[in-house]
Structure 1
Amino acid sequence: MSTVLDLKGVEVCYGRVEALRGLDLTVGEREIVALLGNNGAGKSTTVSTISGVVRSRAGSITAFGDDITSATPWSIVERGILHVPEGRRIFSRLTVHENLQLGGYTVRDNAVIDKRINEVYELFPRMAERRGQQGGTLSGGEQQMLAIGRAMVAGPRLIMLDEPSMGLAPLVVAQVMEAIVAINQAGASVLLIEQNARAALKVAHRGYVLDSGRVTVTGPADELRADPQVVEAYLGA
C-alpha cells in the first residue's frame, strides 16, 4: 500500500504553547485512519497544519509524493486534499444545491460538478430532498452531510474530517460513519479526527491516539479497540 500522506517530526506552537511535538503520522492509499484524543490533544491543529491554515515551525508534510509543508491552502485543495472543518461551516444563507456547487470551485468542467453533485444526492438522499432549502435551516446532522457532500464535489483524493460526529444523535452518527466508509470505498483516503473513539474505530483501518501533541498509541483499529489504555481512556469498561 502506497503512502498518500506523511508527516515527519511536525511541530506547531501557538505563542509559547506547544500544540504538536514532533508528530509522525501516515495515511495509506484507500485507507481510513482515525486520529483520537481529548480536547486540546492537537487533533484539529494537525489537520489545520496539513491544510496549510496553520504553519509548522519544524518537520515536513508530504502528500502524493510532493512536499506541501509550505504550500498555500488553495494549492493543497487543488491537489485533492479536502478538509471538512469542525462545526461544518456551511454557507447558511445559500441553498443546499448552491453550497454543493461552491464545493466545485476548483473544477473547471461543469458537467463533472453536476455529476458529483448527483453522486452526493445518491449518498445523502436527504440532501436531494432539501436541495432548495437554505443551509442554515437544516438540522445539525443534515448540515454535516452537506459539509461532507461539499468536499466530495471537489473530487478528494484525501478527505480530512474534523469531529464529524460532534453534537449528533447516535443514529445520525451511524449514518455519517456509513457515508465515510462509502467515500473510502469509492477511492478516497480518509483522515478521521474524532473524540468518539468507539464510532471511529468501527470504520477505521488504523488509528493514532494523541495526548498533548504527541502520539501515545498507534496501531490497527482492532488492536486499539482491545488496548487497555485506549479502552480505559476512550471506550469505557
Structure 2
Amino acid sequence: MAMLEFDDVDVFYGKVQALRGLSLQVEEGEIVALLGNNGAGKTTTLSTASALMNPSSGSVQFNGTDISKGKPWDVVGAGLIHVPEGRRIFSTLSVHENLLLGGYLVKNRALVASRLKHVYELLPLLEQRRSQQGGTLSGGEQQMLAIGRALIAGPKMLMLDEPSMGLAPLIVAQVMQVISDIRDQGTTVLLVEQNARAALKVTDRAYVIEEGATTLEGRAKDMIADPRIIDAYLGA
C-alpha cells in the first residue's frame, strides 16, 4: 500500500480545471519529485493532499485513509506536512519561536523539546541564529527554518513546494542535501521543484505533470537521461 495515493483526481478552481484525472503514488521511504512548468498543477497537487483543495472526483489516500474531504488540521495531525512555496515564516518572531509554532498540534511538550533538539542537530545554523528574527535571515536560511518548523510537527511525509526557488546554486545543493538527510532519517518526501536537475539528483522517482495530468513517470536515474526530460527541463 502506498503512503500517499492520488487516484483519478479532478480539481477545479471555479470553472477552471487544474487537475485532470491525476494519479500518482508515493511509497514509504521514498523521495518523489513532481516536475513541470508553471501552471502545470504541481502546487495544486500539494494543496489537494493538504486538504486545502477538495477534489470534485477521484480520491486521495494517506496511509490507507481517504483524506479527499478532510480538513487541513486533520491532515497535519495524521503526519502529512506541507512546506508551501515562499517559505512563509513569521518575520518578526525569532528563529526559536518560529520552530516552536511547528508543534502547535503536539500536546506533549517533552516531545516538542526532543524534536527541537533534533532540528538544531540537523540544522546547526538555526541554533546559532535561534534568537534572531526570522525576517533577517537570508533566503537559504529562511528555507531551512521553514523545513525545520515542519519537522517539529513530526511528519511521516514532508511535502516541499519549490524549496530551491530564488536560491544560489551552492545553497540549492545544501537544501537538497538536507532533504536527502531527512529521508535517510525516516521521513518520506514529496518534492515539487522547477530545478529538475537538482531534484533528480536526490529523488528516487519522478512524475512530470502537464496541464493537470501526469504524462511521464519513472526512476530518477532513468529520467535524468531521458531525451524528453533533457529537452524540456534540463537543457543541453
Shorter-normalised TM range? over 0.9
Q: How does 1:56-135 map to 2 (within 5 A)?
A: 56-135=55-134
Find the residue that maps to 2:163 and give its secondary structure: coil
Query: Which amino acid in 2 is paired with 1:6?
Result: E
Find the residue that maps to 1:131 and give its secondary structure: coil
Query: Which amino acid in 1 is paired with 2:84?
Result: P
CA distance in 1, matches of 2:60, 2:13: 19
Query: Structure 1 residue runs of 4+, over 6 Å off?
Result: none
Q: How does 1:45-60 map to 2 (within 5 A)?
A: 45-60=44-59
The Cα offsets for residues 203-225 of structure 1, whole Å up to 9 and x where unpaired, read as 00000001111111100001110
Find the residue that maps to 2:125 and give its secondary structure: helix
> Which 5+ residue runs of structure 1 have no aligned equivalent?
none
Partner of 1:193: 192
Residue 163 (str. 1) matches residue 162 (str. 2): yes
> Which 5+ residue runs of structure 2 have no aligned equivalent?
none
Partner of 2:175: 176
- C-alpha RMSD over aligned residues: 0.7
Find the residue that maps to 2:141 and give its secondary structure: helix
CA distance in 2, matches of 1:97, 1:182: 21
CA distance in 2, matches of 1:16, 1:37: 22
The Cα offsets for residues 132-167 of structure 1, whole Å up to 9 and x where unpaired, read as 011111111110000000000011000000000000
Count of aligned residue pairs for this structure pair: 236
Query: Which amino acid in 2 is paired with 1:177?
Result: M
Moved more, 129-138 or 108-117: 108-117
Shift of 1:56: 1.2
Per the normalisation by structure 2, the TM-score is 0.98
Shift of 1:89: 0.4
Find the residue that maps to 2:3 and give its secondary structure: strand
Find the residue that maps to 1:198 and give its secondary structure: helix
Shift of 1:15: 2.1
CA distance in 2, matches of 1:106, 1:187: 21
Indicate the percent of aligned positions where both proteins have the same amino acid.
Answer: 60
Query: Which amino acid in 1 is paired with 2:98?
Result: N
CA distance in 1, matches of 2:14, 2:223: 33
The Cα offsets for residues 81-127 of structure 1, whole Å up to 9 and x where unpaired, read as 00000000011111000010010111111111111111111111110
Query: Which amino acid in 1 is paired with 2:228?
Result: Q
Per the normalisation by structure 1, the TM-score is 0.98
Partner of 1:143: 142
Query: Which amino acid in 2 is paired with 1:107?
Result: V
The Cα offsets for residues 7-59 of structure 1, whole Å up to 9 and x where unpaired, read as 00111111222111000010001000000001000000000010011111111
Partner of 1:26: 25
Find the residue that maps to 1:231 and give its secondary structure: helix
Find the residue that maps to 2:148 and give its secondary structure: helix
CA distance in 2, matches of 1:197, 1:117: 31
CA distance in 2, matches of 1:65, 1:19: 25
Query: Which amino acid in 2 is paired with 1:138?
Result: L
Query: Which amino acid in 2 is paired with 1:94?
Result: L
CA distance in 1, matches of 2:128, 2:104: 23
Query: Which amino acid in 2 is paired with 1:13?
Result: F
Partner of 2:5: 6
Partner of 1:40: 39
Find the residue that maps to 1:187 and give its secondary structure: coil
CA distance in 2, matches of 1:118, 1:41: 38
Query: Which amino acid in 2 is paired with 1:126?
Result: L
